[in-house]
Structure 1
Amino acid sequence: MITTGVDLAAQPARTAVAVVDWRGGGAELTTLRLDNTDDDIVGFAAGSTHVGVDCAFGWPDDFVAYIAANARGEAPAPDLRGIEGRRLLAYRETDRATHRITGRLPLSVSTDRLGLTAMRCADLLAGFAAAGDVVDRSGATGRLVEVYPAASLRLWGVAVSGYKTDAAARQTATANLLAAALWLAVTPDQRALMEASDDAFDAVVAALIARAHALGATHPVPPAAHDRARREGWIALPSTPLDGLDPTRPVASPPE
């Protein structure tokens, strides 16, 4: 099995790609690099069983309807005035589910600083579709799945506090992750890049989450949310410990 992780940014310079080759005797980080175009990402993902992308795959249904009504000069229906209504505009169903499971609320794709990256993600998903991939934003079918590294690391119990902004914290986070995944082989240069760049670090985690999803070891989309998830996207969160990804251990068949 091969999995690819993508930490997507609005521009190629901070877009990281990680590729992990999973074998019976261990797992090897075969590719880790920054500065990737959409074509680079599609190319690196060739041959991968699953591809985890750290970016929202869509926008909240309520937000889309609200903006469309505004463009037509109509009052939105239903009336979403007030803070509770604005929260419906700001967050997707998967964001609320992630908060319930992890205690961590993702940034809003419609109101925080994610808009440009989400627009690029829409183009990237179109690029995968043009290359022949089935693009299911819910992750229920096809290779592509939306991931959230920080929330997954919390569920796995890997301490990474401050790694986004502090170099020393990132060194500690890298050490903690690799100590928890002794079966993952990385080169000294790859480790140095993880320590230097939170984007590279997150791309590696995204590739691990892609493995979890491939094994059926992520929380499923609730049946009532399936249709919405296919429009808004759905974050795949691990449902088993990080040890469950260890390729040296017997793997149970994923649920049908």
Structure 2
Amino acid sequence: MRFYGIDLAAEAKFTGLATVATNDSSIRVEALAVGVTDEQIIHAVTTAEGTGVDVPVGWPKAFIDFIHHHGNQALVTPDDTGGAWRRTLALRTTDIDLHRRTGLTPLSVSANLIAYPAFRWAGIEARLRDQGVDVSRDGSGAIAEVYPAAALYRWGIPHRGYKGRKHQAVRAEVIKALSARFDQLDWNGFDALALAEDDALDAVISALVRYQIFRGQCEGPPAHLQDIARTEGWIWVPKPAES
């Protein structure tokens, strides 16, 4: 079985794609690349058992409604424009829930530059949907939204300060810890690229999370939040070690 992980950037040259092949005795990094086009991503999603996507796949419903009504000059006057009101526009339900469970706060897809790769994903999602691919944003279909930092946190692996060319030493710790956490993991020589490029490392982590989703080892949206997850997306994270 093959699982893909995508660390999606706005530009292809910063986008990582990992292929992880699994069987009863091994988890093998079969391919790893940075500099990935929309066409390569679409091919991956349509041929994989499942794909983990490191990018927000939707926007807060309140923000969607806000843009619609504001554009039509029909916005209902808010009681005030303070932080609590703005927070409903900036954060998705899954962002708030993830913070509650892990202490981590994902970047706001409404108010941060992470919107640029999210725009790209929206276009890719549309192309996949045109091909009949189930791209349900709650993770029940071909793709699931993931967050590498939260996965590392849940696995008990260093999850901060590993990005950037100056932090290879921290990435080396992460790679070593992943090999210990997944004792069947065979890097197949691609650990060198994961060490050199954090986009590549995040792609591998995304694929490993998607593999764990398949095995029932991750937390998805609770039943009472599934409707909102279908609109906004949902970040899947590994279950706590004690679960």
Q: CA deviation at 1:40?
A: 0.5
Deviation, 1:180, is 2.1
- Encode CA deviations 1:122-163: one digit per residue, 9 max, x unaligned: 111122223331111011x21210000101110111124310
Instruction: Identify unmatched segments of 5+ residues in structure 2.
Output: none
The equivalent residue for 1:247 is none
Look up the match of 1:12.
12
Task: Report the equivalent of 2:162.
Answer: 163
1:182 aligned residue: 183
> Percent identity between the aligned chains?
36
How far the C-alpha of 1:172 sits from its partner, in A, is 2.0
Deviates more, 1:176-185 or 1:27-36: 176-185
Conserved? CA contact 1:16–1:203, under 8 Å: yes
Relative distance call for 1:26 and 1:65 in structure 2 (3 A) is same
- Alignment partners' CA distance in 2, 1:107 and 1:229: 17
Contact 2:45 2:142 in 1 (8 A): no
After superposition, residues 12-91 of structure 1 pair within 5 angstroms as 12-76=12-76, 79=79, 81-91=81-91
Residue of structure 2 in register with 1:123 after alignment: 123
| 2-structure distance, mates of 1:161, 1:96 | 19
2:215 corresponds to which residue? Answer: 215
Equivalent residues of 1:160, 1:169 under 8 A apart: no
Q: How many angstroms apart in 1 are the aligned matches of 2:206 and 2:138? A: 16
Counterpart check, 1:154 vs 2:187: no
Structure 2: which amino acid aligns with 1:135? V
Contact 1:160 1:172 in 2 (8 A): no
Quick check: 1:54–1:148 contact (8 Å CA) kept in 2? yes
How far has the Cα of 1:171 moved from its partner? Answer: 2.0
Deviations for 1:170-223, whole angstroms, at most 9, x for unmatched residues?
Answer: 2222222223222111123x1111001111000000001101111222213122
What are the superposed Cα offsets for residues 60-111 of structure 1, whole Å, 9 maximum, x if unpaired?
0111111112111233465461100011110000001111111111110001
CA contact (8 A) 1:8 1:53 kept: yes
Q: Is the 8 A contact 1:26 1:185 kept in 2?
A: yes
1:18-43 C-alpha deviation (Å, 9 max, x unpaired): 01111111111101001111110121
Q: 2 CA distance for matches of 1:35 and 1:24?
A: 31
Q: Distance in 2 between matches of 1:48 and 1:161?
A: 29
**Number of residues paired by the alignment?**
241
- Report the Cα distance in structure 1 between the residues aligned to 2:240 and 2:46, rounded to whole angstroms: 27
The change in CA–CA distance for 1:167 and 1:138 in structure 2 (over 3 A counts) is same
Using the alignment, how far apart are the partners of 1:222 and 1:78 within structure 2? Answer: 30
CA contact (8 A) 2:155 2:181 kept: no
Aligned to 1:248: none
With normalisation by structure 1, the TM-score equals 0.89
Contact 1:39–1:127 (8 Å) recurs in 2: no
Q: Supply the distance in 2 between the matched residues of 1:80 and 1:167 (Cα, whole angstroms).
A: 46
The SS at the match of 1:28 is strand
Contact 2:220 2:235 (C-alpha < 8 Å) held by counterparts: no
Task: Quote the Cα distance in structure 1 between the aligned partners of 2:68 and 2:46.
Answer: 36
Q: Would you say the 8 A contact 2:28–2:185 is kept in 1?
A: yes
Q: Which runs of 5+ in 1 are unaligned?
A: 245-256
Mean Cα deviation higher: 52-61 or 167-176: 167-176
TM-score by length of 2: 0.93
